[in-house]
Structures are given as C-alpha cells and as structure tokens.
C-alpha cells in the first residue's frame, strides 16, 4: 500500500556544508522544480535568508522519486538551518521524520554542529545516512572524513555516498540510499487522528497555516479537529503539501508531512508541538511534542515611535507562530517608554527577529543590549531572577550574584589550540578537557560565562583561528561571580536601557571604554552632552559630546528642490533605528556598544 512508498527525512549538517545546495539538486533531479524556475538554495525563500546566504527556517517539500526498483516514492524532505541559534528548527524537523541525511564537508570534516545535530537525530531514533559533500574541492579528503565520521561520531560510514552538490555528483546514489535505508512511516489510517504541529505561519487570508506530520489516522477538509493542548476546535478548510509551492490535496494520511488550514484567527491558540486530533473521536493522548526552549539572552525591543506599541505587540504574536523559540512580555523603560522584554536563543536569533519584525511588519525598532539571566541571592534570603540589568537590586540588598555558565566545545586544528585557549582564558573560561579528533584536530572543552560568549566571542574565535574553529555550547549551570551594575548617564540623567552588568575586575575599564564609544556614536546636538558611567553613586568615567558648531539643517531650506528632497531623505534614513531620550537622540549602535569589548 501507499505508505510503504513514503520516505520522510531531514537534511542536517554544520553551517555551510551544503544542505540547501543538496536540496537544490534533489529538487532538480526529481523534476520538482522546472529548470527555468531553478535558482541556488531555492528553499531559502525568505529575503533575509537569501541576502545572508544562510538558512533560518526549516522548509518541508514533497517530491516524487522514480527509483531503480521501478516504484515511484513520495519523499518529504525538510531542509534545516545549521547555526546553533536555530537548532530548535532542526529538532522540530527531526520529530517529523524517520531518517536524517547527515552532510559532512569533505574539506572541513566533522564540526561542532555536525555532532550537535547527530545527537538530536539519535535522540529521535532516526536512521542517519552520512553523505560526504564537496568532493570537487581540491582540498577535499573524503577518505579521511569517512574515518572521522566513524571515529568521532561513531556511526558506520562505509557506504557514505561521496557527493558534489555543486556539480551534481552522487545525487542519484544518495536518493537510492534514502529509499533503501530510511524506514517507511507506519501508522493506522483508521485510528483517531494524531498529527504533530511542527511549524506554523500566519496568513492574512487563510489564518494560521499549520505544518503537520500525521502519525495516525487521516484528515480532510470539512473535518472537525481539536488542538489537544489548547483544547480549541475548528473545521478544516484545506489540506495540502508544499512542492515547493502549496498544492491542495483531498486528504492527508498517517505518514504524510503537509499543511492544514482551519480559519484559525486566534493566534494564541496555536502552539508548535501541539497535537491535532478529531473533535468527535479524539486520540487518547497527545503526542509528546517538544521541549520548551529556554532563551539564552534577553533584550528590550522598543518601537522608535511610541505610538507603534500595539503594532509591535501584534507583530510579535504573528511572528511567534513562525518562530517558536521567541519569547516576549511587556516591559517599560523610563528612557524608552513601552516595549517588550524578549528572549532569544542567541545574537543571530535576536538580529533575525528584529529584521523580520521591521521587514514583514513595517516597524522601526530599537533593541537594547542583550543580557543573560542573573540569579540574585538577596539579603532577605529570597532569590530574584534578573533579565534586565536595570532591575538589578541595590547593592545593599544583594548577598551574591550568580551567572549562567555554558559548556563550550570548540573544534580546531592543533596549531590554533594556543590561540583558542588564550581567548577562552581572557573570557573568564575554565579549561575542562581536550580530546584529539584525529592527528590534526582537537576538541577543546571550556566552561565559560554565557555573558562572555553571546556577543562577539564567535567572531573573535574565527579571526584568531583563520576561520578554522567551530563552536557549539549548551547551558551547564549557575556559578557565583563578582558582578556589578554599571549605569550610564546622559546629560546627568540615568538612561535605564543602557545599564549593564560587568565583572568587577573589568568594571572601570569597561566604563571608560563605553563612555568614549558613546561619545562617538551619539550624534552631536546644539548643546554639550556629558556622558558618565557610574557604579551606584560613584562616577567611574566621564566624557563630553561637544555641541556642533554650525546648523547643518539650515542648508535644507536653501538649495534646489531636488537636493533638498535628497537631504531630507538622507536625514530620514539617518533617523532609522534611533530613539529620542529626553533631548538626546540615541542610535541603535549605542545600545550594542555596551557589549563590545576590545
Ligand atoms: P548550508 O548552510 O549547509 O545550507 O550550505 P549551502 O547549501 O548554503 O552551501 C554553502 C556554500 O557551499 C555555498 O556557497 C555553496 O555554493 C557551496 N557548496 C555547496 N555544495 C558544494 C559542493 O559540492 N562543492 C562546492 N565546491 N561548493 C559547494
Ligand atoms: Mg542551508
């Protein structure tokens, strides 16, 4: 029967090892996309993904493969991101599949996220099919990588297909292995419906579009369905698959990966990880769903224009449907007004959220400096979790402050171990272990404060190892640290949104650095602006933004109309991502400056 001809698999790998390009070749080879519609990394369909050349969202497509055994198989392929900030997309994709293609770059070998993704796939008991890609590169060493996959990951790589996604080598052999090795889905077509929601997106016309993997039963338009955890009932309006354009189907059945709409307008009812079942004859229990992701960093998100607060709330609700890892709750700041405290999985995630909110919802936003969550043991014996530095209690109320530490795993060629250790040490890291991956590369494990690695650690790591190091990390525990809050005063007013936490040892130096950075970043006004850094009442640094000498805006009223329009346009662009605090305009960079270290 039909189920036997279905194969559900994800493509996983370290970033840049060629997942999306392999997906391109698969789409081409199976004639899923016409030649004239083909473009590189076709499944990276968000503007942001194309501009940055990275995959941010999982993307599920259905395709038909005519195998050598004479049967036509229905493949559901899910392309996934490789960056550590988006691993939640990977784990959700894997839960919808029976198999995972593990792509390893023939020149780079096994990297930190290769391992991290393998562990995710093993957690879900998936069949892992290793592929060695980019064999066209002069520096490719496929046999060395084959051994590395066996030694480091511990999976059999004897049959690993050698591919060049770029030149279309090995693609058919890979597809044949998918047919042979990935188990067909099981599931009873006559059982009550159980479908896992692994993603969702808001559509103005159709309401919420759910991406589902059906595990038991069938679903078709007209069915009354219940979302089990939110306990809400709807009538299905449409089901279908993406190929990669949406194609309507009469029904979806156990084993299928597709989409479902049911005129769901109340966004807060839908949760990724929830189970869809029949309203009348429901399943006994919901599918296991997903572990909630705990954000790594928090930052304030504020509309540049205070009147846009409600627009921002609506935008966040809608974006959350498509970004299950995003968390938010309202907060207010004396300096910035009303906004949201948002939780992110890392800096790239934060950056992507800000960009998507601005592009997809036409907002102009300011994000404050990201902060980790501190655990404050207070003198009254209560414990306070502080996600916003400005909410750090008075020094007299604090017994100790603890901060989150991560276990960082850094894979790097031998010759850079010294540089890596120096960097980690400088970031308050504690050396744990070092394992040899092979004769050339090691895996160095450090325990480090999360606050030291969220901002520019990865960039520094890359530049001190000529791009050869790869990094993965996971939260380990909380440890006490000697931390202080530093406040920034502009024009003698404390700007709460610029407060940050620093290790006491570096506090004065950081205070001075930041005061001088702000002096460069904050535009001059027609009056002097003193910039101060303070710990409590003690001023630790002071500088002044000079007044500008000439009124440049007066020029706008003279020149010809063309020039004037251009100037106004330029001024408007300059105003983007800028927030007026009292009489001072603070640009976005100022909020990030408190994180930069030299
Ligand atoms: P992903 O991050 O794993 O999705 O990787 P992409 O598919 O976006 O590819 C990353 C880069 O590697 C792109 O510049 C691709 O053109 C390139 N690439 C992918 N596959 C191959 C290959 O087989 N050979 C070569 N030489 N380059 C490849
Ligand atoms: Mg990709």
* Predicted pLDDT of residue 556: 53
Give pLDDT, residue 589: 85
* 87-94 and 112-123 helices, crossing angle to 10°: 30
**Closest Cα to atom 19, ligand 1: which residue?**
18
Q: Whose CA is nearest to atom 28 of ligand 1?
A: 166
Residue nearest (by alpha carbon) to ligand 1 atom 18: 18
Instruction: Decide: helix, strand or coil at residue 237.
Output: coil
Residues 337-379: pLDDT tens digits? 999 999 999 989 999 999 999 999 999 999 998 899 999 999 9
Does 19 count as an annotated binding residue?
yes
**Rounded-to-integer distance, Cα 522 and Cα 151, Å:** 53
Question: What is the Å distance from ligand 1's center to 180 Cα?
Answer: 26
Nearest ligand 1 atom to the CA of 133 is: 23
pLDDT at 597 (0 to 100): 66
- Residue 164 DSSP symbol: B
Residue 461 has a pLDDT of 93
Task: Name the nearest CA neighbour of 163 among 179, 152, 177, 151.
Answer: 177
CA of 83 to the centre of ligand 2 (A): 9
Expressed in angstroms and rounded, the spacing between residue 341 Cα and the centre of ligand 2 is 30
Q: Among the atoms of ligand 1, which is closest to the Cα of residue 53?
A: 8
Q: Which residues pair with 153 in a beta bridge?
A: none
169 touches ligand 1 (CB under 6 Å) = no
CA pair distance 409, 417, nearest whole angstrom: 12
User: Ligand 1 centre from 12 Cα, in Å?
Assistant: 13
What is the Cα–Cα distance from 576 to 588, expressed in whole angstroms? 9
| Residue 17 Cα: closest atom of ligand 1 | 3
The answer to whether residues 81 and 57 touch, using CB atoms and an 8 Å cutoff, is yes
pLDDT tens track of the chain, all 598 residues? 789 999 999 999 999 999 999 999 999 999 888 888 888 998 898 889 999 999 999 999 999 999 999 999 999 999 999 898 998 999 999 999 999 999 999 999 999 999 999 999 998 999 999 999 999 999 999 999 999 999 989 999 999 999 999 999 999 999 999 999 999 999 999 999 999 999 999 998 999 999 999 999 999 999 999 999 889 999 999 999 999 999 999 999 999 999 999 999 888 888 899 999 999 999 999 998 888 788 999 999 999 888 999 999 999 999 999 999 999 999 999 888 999 999 999 989 999 999 999 999 999 999 998 899 999 999 999 999 999 999 999 999 999 999 999 999 999 999 999 999 999 999 999 999 999 988 889 999 999 999 998 878 988 999 899 888 999 998 899 999 999 999 999 999 999 989 999 999 989 998 999 999 899 889 888 889 999 999 999 999 999 998 876 555 555 555 566 766 666 665 555 556 778 887 788 888 888 887 776 6
- C-alpha 304/C-alpha 340 separation (Å) is 13
C-alpha 251: how far from chain center = 33
Per-residue pLDDT reduced to its tens digit, 436-456: 988 889 999 999 999 998 878
Ligand 1: does its nearest atom lie under 6 Å from the Cβ of 137? yes
pLDDT (0 to 100) of residue 422: 96
User: Peptide bond before 244: cis, by omega within 30 degrees of 0?
Assistant: yes
Beta bridge partner(s), residue 514: none
Q: Measured in angstroms, how far is the CA atom of residue 90 from the centroid of ligand 2?
A: 11
Provide CB contacts within 8 A for 487, sequence distance 6+: 494, 498, 499, 533, 534, 535
State which of 14, 19, 21 you would mutate to test the pocket of ligand 1, scoring each by most atoms of that ligand within 8 A of its C-beta. Answer: 21
* Closest listed residue to residue 344, CA positions, set 312, 316, 385: 316
Counting Cα atoms < 13 Å in the Cβ hemisphere of 82 gives 24
133 is in an annotated binding site: yes
CB 341 within 8 A of CB 328: yes
Q: How far apart are CA 391 and CA 295, in angstroms?
A: 18
Classify the complex by whether its ipTM is higher than 0.95, answering yes or no: yes
Closest CA to 200 of 286, 98, 290: 290
Is the Cβ atom of 83 under 6 angstroms away from ligand 1?
Answer: no
Q: Is 17 annotated as a binding residue?
A: yes
* Spatial distance between the Cα atoms of 329 and 160, rounded to a whole number of angstroms: 47
Residue whose Cα lies nearest atom 24 of ligand 1: it is 134
Nearest CA to ligand 1 atom 2: 16
Cβ of 16 below 6 Å from ligand 1: yes
């Amino acid at each position: 029967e039909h189920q036997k001809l279905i194969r559900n698999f994800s493509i996983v790998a370290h970033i840049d090892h060629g997942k999306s390009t392999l997906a391109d070749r698969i789409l081409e080879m199976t004639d899923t996309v016409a030649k004239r519609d083909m473009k590189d990394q076709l499944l990276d369909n968000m503007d942001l993904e194309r501009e940055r050349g990275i995959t941010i969202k999982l993307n599920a497509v259905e395709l038909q493969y005519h195998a050598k055994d004479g049967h036509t198989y229905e493949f559901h392929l899910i392309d996934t991101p490789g960056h550590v900030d988006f691993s939640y997309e990977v784990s959700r994709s894997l839960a919808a599949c029976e198999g995972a293609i593990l792509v390893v770059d023939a020149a780079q070998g096994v990297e930190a996220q290769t391992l991290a993704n393998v562990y995710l796939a093993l957690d879900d008991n998936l069949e892992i099919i290793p592929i060695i890609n980019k064999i066209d590169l002069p520096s490719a060493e496929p046999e060395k990588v084959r051994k590395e996959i066996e030694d480091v990951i511990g999976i059999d790589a004897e049959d690993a297909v050698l591919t060049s996604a770029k030149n279309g080598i090995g693609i058919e052999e890979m597809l044949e292995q998918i047919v042979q090795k990935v188990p067909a889905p099981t599931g009873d077509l006559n059982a009550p419906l159980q479908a896992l929601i692994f993603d969702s997106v808001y559509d103005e016309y159709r309401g919420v579009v759910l991406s589902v993997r059906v595990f038991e039963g069938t679903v078709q338009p007209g069915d009354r369905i219940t979302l089990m955890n939110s306990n809400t009932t709807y009538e299905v309006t449409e089901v279908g698959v993406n190929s990669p354009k949406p194609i309507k189907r009469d029904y979806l059945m156990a084993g299928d990966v597709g989409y479902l709409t049911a005129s769901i307008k109340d966004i807060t009812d839908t949760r990724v990880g929830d189970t869809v079942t029949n309203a009348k004859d429901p399943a006994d229990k919901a599918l296991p769903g997903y572990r909630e992701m705990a954000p790594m960093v928090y930052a304030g998100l504020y509309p540049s224009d205070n009147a846009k607060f409600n627009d921002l709330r609506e935008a966040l609700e809608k974006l959350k449907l498509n970004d299950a890892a995003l968390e938010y709750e309202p907060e207010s700041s004396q300096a910035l007004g009303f906004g949201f405290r948002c939780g992110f999985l890392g800096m790239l995630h934060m950056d992507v959220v800000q960009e998507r909110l601005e592009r997809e919802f036409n907002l102009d936003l300011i994000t404050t400096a990201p902060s980790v969550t501190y655990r404050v043991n207070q003198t009254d014996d209560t414990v306070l979790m502080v996600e916003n530095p400005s909410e750090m209690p008075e020094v007299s109320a604090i017994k100790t402050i603890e901060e989150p530490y991560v276990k960082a795993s850094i894979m790097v060629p031998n010759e850079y171990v010294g540089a890596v250790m120096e960097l980690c040490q400088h970031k308050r890291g504690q050396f744990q272990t070092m394992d040899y991956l092979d004769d050339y590369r090691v895996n160095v494990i450090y325990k480090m404060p999360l606050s030291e690695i969220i901002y520019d650690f990865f960039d520094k790591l890359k530049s001190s190892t000529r791009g050869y190091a790869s990094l993965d990390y996971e939260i380990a525990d909380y440890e006490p640290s000697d931390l202080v809050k530093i406040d920034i005063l502009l024009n003698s007013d404390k700007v709460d949104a610029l407060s940050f936490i620093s290790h006491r040892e570096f506090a004065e130096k950081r205070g001075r650095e930041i005061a001088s950075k702000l002096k460069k970043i904050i535009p001059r006004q027609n009056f002097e602006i003193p910039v101060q850094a303070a710990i409590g009442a003690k001023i630790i640094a002071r500088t002044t933004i000079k007044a500008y000498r000439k009124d440049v805006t007066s020029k706008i009223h003279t020149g010809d109309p063309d020039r004037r329009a251009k100037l106004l346009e330029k001024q408007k662009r300059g105003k983007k991502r800028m927030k007026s605090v009292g009489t001072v305009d603070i640009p976005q960079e100022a909020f990030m400056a408190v994180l930069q270290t030299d």
